[in-house]
Amino acid sequence: MTKPLNVGLIGYGFMGRTHSNAYRKAPNFFDLPYEPVLKTVCGLEEDQAKAFAQKWGYESYTTNWKEVVEDEKIDVVDICVPNNVHAEIAIACAKAGKAICCEKPLALNVAQAEEMVAAVEKAGVPNLVSFNYRRVPAVTLAKQLIDEGRLGRIFHYRANFLQDWTISADVPQGGDATWRLDIKAAGSGVTGDLLAHCIDTAMWQNGPITSVSAMTETFVKERMHAETHKIEAVGIDDACTFMCRFDNGSLGNFESTRYARGHKALYTFEINGEHASIAWDLHDLHRLSYFDHRDDSIVRGWRSVHVTDGDMPYMDKWWVPGLQIGYEHTFVHQVADFLQSMAEGKPAAPTFRDALATQKVCEAVLNSAKKKSWEQVK
């Protein structure tokens, strides 16, 4: 018997759409213990909240997030607002006993993230942070291959997340989509927005990062603020490169920028082990490149594994072998896993505590860049 699970969404932007789509599709493809019911959407502009509710099938809308949190009928609150409001909303949700799905990065900084972890753990509420790329089937398969020991000892982990949408000095900071350029709303630039994805995946696959040495740059120093209409100093990092050590002895290299002309969302990683290597590329997300040194030398080489067979992660829930899925499905998998774990009374990863570990690496990276020194991850 599936039970209804009432969802309150806070934030109707890009992420509000990906999450709403996921709540709608998950029960069609997965056998879930709960049936998500889109109860309320909340956003700042009433006409937009209303239009969003109509388009996505929410029963009601509001412009006051506290109404969502105080509504006894709501079981899960989904937080899809800019980073500077995650903490206040999530802590209120925990106190109200709601399950919480929160967009990444968890918070503006480690201090806030720690308060959020304490709040959800004290309240004992289910909590998950939306690092969605873990749930690309090829990325999950990479984790499986590592856990099976196919790579042997790991020597290197390298990841990039490259974009090019902020090169023009005319792009404002602050406002709807461009809050990501406003230090007050975002907390940091590419480090929290993009590298946090890479760090989450890397630590999930390869274990904790223990120390970092980073450099950052802000290429455009001043931008118009969409809310004040004044030219203001830019406080975010436009680009960040760091090297690191993992607890297992392997070395890491990470790069992210919004100034890589020609790249829209090129998230890639490569892992080199004693026996085998793995590489993955978001622009070709349904393929995993795999090289195994143990193959006979006359056929040895990089294979491109098409991750669409039913015995590959999540793929038995979709079409038939050979037919691929994409970006939106990572959020469907996230909802399915979250609801399943909730029914089993188990944590769904990445939890707030997992995301706190990522936040600590991000903070160490930013501190390292500022101080021009190696930083230990606390």
Applying CB under 6 A, the residues found at the interface with ligand SOE are: 163, 180, 193, 265
CB of 156 to ligand SOE, least distance (A): 24
- Residue number with CB closer to ligand SOE (5 or 159): 159
- Residue number with CB closer to ligand SOE (162 or 364): 162
Per-residue burial over 162-173, b if 16 or more Cβ lie within 10 Å, else e, is bbbebbeeebbb
Q: Where are the alpha helices (DSSP H) in the chain?
A: 14-29, 46-56, 65-70, 86-95, 110-123, 137-147, 183-186, 190, 196-206, 328-344, 352-371
- Residue number with CB closer to ligand SOE (65 or 133): 133
- Residue number with CB closer to ligand SOE (81 or 276): 81
- Residue number with CB closer to ligand SOE (16 or 273): 16
Distance of CA 263 to the CA centre of its chain: 19
CB of 103 to ligand SOE, least distance (A): 8
Cα–Cα distance for residue pair 203/358, rounded to 1 Å: 8
CB of 55 to ligand SOE, least distance (A): 20
- Residue number with CB closer to ligand SOE (200 or 337): 200
Q: In this structure, what are the phi and psi dihedrals at residue 370, rounded to the nearest 5 degrees?
A: -65, -45
- Residue number with CB closer to ligand SOE (167 or 251): 167
Q: In this structure, what are the phi and psi dihedrals at residue 105, rounded to the nearest 5 degrees?
A: -70, 160
Token pair for residue 45? 């502009």
Cα–Cα distance for residue pair 104/81, rounded to 1 Å: 10
Q: What is the 3-state secondary structure (H, E, C) of 359-373?
A: HHHHHHHHHHHHHCC
Report the candidate in 201, 194, 216 with the shortest Cα–Cα distance to residue 364. 216
CB of 233 to ligand SOE, least distance (A): 21
DSSP 270-289: EEEESSEEEEEEGGGTTEEE
Q: In this structure, what are the phi and psi dihedrals at residue 306, rounded to the nearest 5 degrees?
A: -85, 110
- Residue number with CB closer to ligand SOE (6 or 188): 188
CB of 234 to ligand SOE, least distance (A): 16
- Residue number with CB closer to ligand SOE (145 or 159): 159
**DSSP class of residue 173?**
B
Beta bridge partners, 320, equal none
CB atoms near residue 63 (< 10 Å): 13
Check if the beta carbon of residue 232 is closer than 8 Å to that of residue 184.
no
CB of 165 to ligand SOE, least distance (A): 7
Token pair for residue 34? 């709960």
CB of 231 to ligand SOE, least distance (A): 23
CA atoms within 13 A on the CB side of 235: 12
CB of 290 to ligand SOE, least distance (A): 24
User: Residue with CB nearest ligand SOE?
Assistant: 193
Beta bridge partners, 232, equal 223
CB of 163 to ligand SOE, least distance (A): 6
CB of 282 to ligand SOE, least distance (A): 9
- Residue number with CB closer to ligand SOE (32 or 195): 195
